[in-house]
């Protein structure tokens, strides 16, 4: 019984690792990850999208960003123009990768994300008063 459980747990872990690797490779093909300096160099000429939830956005966001929470992305992604570069960020970098995959499937081409997300941002920030 214990050996059977070990096999099941091993199979689940193996499947999870494969899933994570495939997702990582798909994300790398869909979006260009930029460090803060590279992000700053290009985001002013692009659409800057914060995919965090509204309360997080209101607490502080990169100056000039628009908020389209990932939980609303499927309903609101058309607010983003497909003919202009899209710079995405979230709190730590995971949701912006999924948002980029979503946009890539819908024909968006110039997709960039902030490595490390807002958590590591040291540039200008705006908060809601």
pLDDT band per the 50, 70, 90 thresholds, residue 31: confident
Any idea where the domains of the chain sit in the sequence?
1-30, 31-126
Q: Quick one: what percent of the chain has pLDDT higher than 90?
A: 63
The answer to whether the CB of 91 falls within 8 A of the CB of 118 is yes
Look up the CATH superfamily of 31-126: Rhodanese-like domain (3.40.250.10)
Q: How many residues does the chain have?
A: 129
Dist CA 67 CA 70 (whole Å): 9
Q: pTM to 2 decimals?
A: 0.80
Q: What is the pLDDT of residues 94-129, one digit of tens each?
A: 899 899 999 999 999 899 999 999 998 998 898 876
Which range has the worst mean pLDDT, 16-20, 22-26, 46-50, 51-55? 22-26
């Amino acid at each position: 019984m214990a050996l059977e459980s070990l096999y099941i747990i091993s199979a689940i872990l193996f499947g999870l690792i494969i899933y994570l690797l495939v997702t990582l490779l798909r994300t790398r093909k869909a979006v260009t990850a930029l460090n803060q300096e590279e992000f700053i160099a290009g985001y002013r000429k692009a659409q800057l999208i914060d995919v965090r939830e509204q309360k997080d956005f209101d607490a502080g966001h990169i100056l000039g960003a628009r908020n389209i929470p990932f939980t609303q992305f499927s309903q609101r992604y058309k607010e983003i123009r497909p003919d202009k570069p899209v710079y995405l960020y979230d709190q730590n970098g995971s949701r912006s990768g999924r948002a980029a995959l979503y946009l890539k499937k819908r024909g968006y081409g110039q997709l960039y994300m902030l490595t490390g997300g807002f958590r590591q941002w040291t540039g200008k920030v705006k908060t809601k008063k």
